[in-house]
Amino acid sequence: MEEYDLIVIGAGSGLDVASAFASRGKSVAVVEPGPLGGTCLNRGCIPSKMLIHRADIVKEIQDSERFGIEASVEDIKYEKIVEEVNEEVKQDSQNIEEGIRKSSQHTLYRTEAEFIDNETLEVDGEKITADKIVVAAGTRPFIPPIDGIEEVDYLTSKEALELTDRPDDMIMIGGGYISNELAHFFEAMDVDVTILQRGDRMLKHEDREIGEKYTELVEDRFNVKLETEASKVYEEDGRVTVVADGEEYEADELFIATGRVPNTDNLKVENTDIETDERGFIEVDEYMNTSVDHIYALGDIIGDHPFKHAANEEAKVALINAFVGNKKEIDYTAMPHAVFSSPQIAGVGQTEQELEDGEYVKASYRYENTGMGMALKEEDGFVKLLASEEGEILGCHIMGPHSSQQIHEVLVAMKSGSGNVSDIQDTIHIHPALNEVVQRAFNQL
């Protein structure tokens, strides 16, 4: 049986821990059956944002007439776009793998891992063990138990990002961030998109006011069916039909985006003393430690904050604690998120529906009432602030251009400042930069 100082299961953010151990002369085993780089690089945030940027360009050209500019999109080289993006992603993944294979401290196992017990893993029929183990094996798409789903060809986020044949139309089941980001891309690529959403609005985890306004806006671009649940699917003559609440919807492609499930079952964690919640996500403490002393876990597989930036922070904490003992606690203060849809959305902290039973004050400000907002002709974007009566920032939610950047001064105030609205109010903002809309929202209090 091979013995290592560290075993890392999953080659996403877990590689940060592996590389740090290896750089200190420790022996490290990395177990990963798929392309290296994890979900983010290979089938998530990186390829999707590269594709979405192309969609943003298309929509800006199509919107140019509002600014007195006559322009049109003459041709979209869809296949070239998808192939170019995926080739770049593939090359990055191969570079990571090449670097690991050249390292004398790393051993790479390109296979699945299964726990035999708390100390031992089986990889390709071989048993390995280590002083420390980090589980960063991620999640996979959840496929709902729809009648006929196993008999039809459908896309998940992985296949959708690699789809080189542009369909005429597409049905998306699910109204979360994955479907809305890719709906923006495909619609811009001249694909008719229908979204079937069980809830009463899109992006149900966003602040309700944001979600309701977003839903209103995208109904002009997509065929949105709210409070609609698919019960049956079937395929005929190369077309897929979805039956939902007595209605039938037909398209070239079916895209499933109904959440994700952890890969703990594939790892056979039931053979260990690792505790999981009722959904199968691994439970960890503030040190990223599982219920087994020498095993740590991070990333999507723990189910707390399914964002790459969260996993990177968790990797820092797991590294320190796995290397020198439990000394550092994870701090999720001001954990942000963004949805790279159109319009773009970003948020941090609590939503108004989460605060409804408590005491809070709120304020908002519209993009169009700032100098740069007027220049952009931005009629729908706004910043919403939620705070305590004493001025503590409880949450901030933004919908509009560059939301994912606009949110950052709020993050700094919450994380490194006093966390009070005065941190933003008392900061001089460039006029007429777009960030004035954030300042003015805070000035309302």
Model pLDDT for residues 372-381, shown as the tens digit of each residue:
999 999 999 9
What is the reported pLDDT for 230? 97
Domain end, chosen from 258, 290, 310, is at: 258
Which of 53, 205, 294, 431 is an active site residue?
431
Q: How many residues would you count in the chain? A: 445
Structure tokens at 235: 């395929």
SS3 call for 207? coil
Query: Do 136 and 274 lie in a common domain?
Result: yes
**Active site annotation includes 431:** yes
Calpha distance 395→382 (Å, rounded) = 14
Calpha distance 213→207 (Å, rounded) = 10
Full DSSP string of 4-50:
EEEEEE-SSTHHHHHHHHHHTT--EEEE-SS-TTHHHHHHSHHHHHH
Give the chain's count of helices (H) and strands (E).
Answer: 15, 21
Largest CA distance in the chain: 71
Domain end, chosen from 243, 258, 273, is at: 258
In this structure, are residues 372 and 390 in contact, taking their beta carbons and an 8 Å threshold?
no
What is the reported pLDDT for 308? 96
What is the reported pLDDT for 357? 87
Calpha distance 282→304 (Å, rounded) = 10
- % of the chain at pLDDT higher than 70: 100
Model pLDDT for residues 148-177, shown as the tens digit of each residue:
999 999 999 999 999 999 999 999 999 999
SS3 call for 295? strand
Q: Stretch 129-134: mean pLDDT, rounded? A: 98
Domain end, chosen from 258, 275, 305, is at: 258
Query: Do 88 and 10 lie in a common domain?
Result: yes
In this structure, are residues 186 and 170 in contact, taking their beta carbons and an 8 Å threshold?
yes
Q: Stretch 54-82: mean pLDDT, rounded? A: 97
Q: Is residue 245 part of a domain?
A: yes
363: pLDDT strictly greater than 90: yes
SS3 call for 173? strand
Query: Do 7 and 128 lie in a common domain?
Result: yes
How many of the other CB atoms lie within 10 Å of CB of 221? 14
Query: Do 18 and 46 lie in a common domain?
Result: yes
**Residue 283 carries which DSSP code?**
P
Q: Stretch 183-194: mean pLDDT, rounded? A: 98
Structure tokens at 420: 């009070």
Give strand pairing partners of 126. Answer: 123
Query: Do 301 and 392 lie in a common domain?
Result: no
Calpha distance 241→392 (Å, rounded) = 50
Q: E-strand spans in 62-168?
A: 106-109, 114-115, 120-123, 126-135, 139-141
Q: How far is CA 252 from CA 129, 186, 193, 286, 424, in A?
A: 48, 13, 10, 47, 49
Query: Do 349 and 431 lie in a common domain?
Result: yes
Query: Do 225 and 290 lie in a common domain?
Result: no
430: pLDDT strictly greater than 90: yes
Q: Is residue 331 part of a domain?
A: no
The Cα angle at residue 242 between residues 237 and 247, in degrees rounded to 5: 120
Structure tokens at 275: 């505790």
Query: Do 163 and 233 lie in a common domain?
Result: yes
Query: Do 10 and 135 lie in a common domain?
Result: yes
Give the predicted TM-score (pTM) of the model: 0.96
Structure tokens at 262: 């952890």
Model pLDDT for residues 237-294, shown as the tens digit of each residue:
999 999 999 999 999 999 999 999 999 999 999 999 999 999 999 999 999 999 999 9
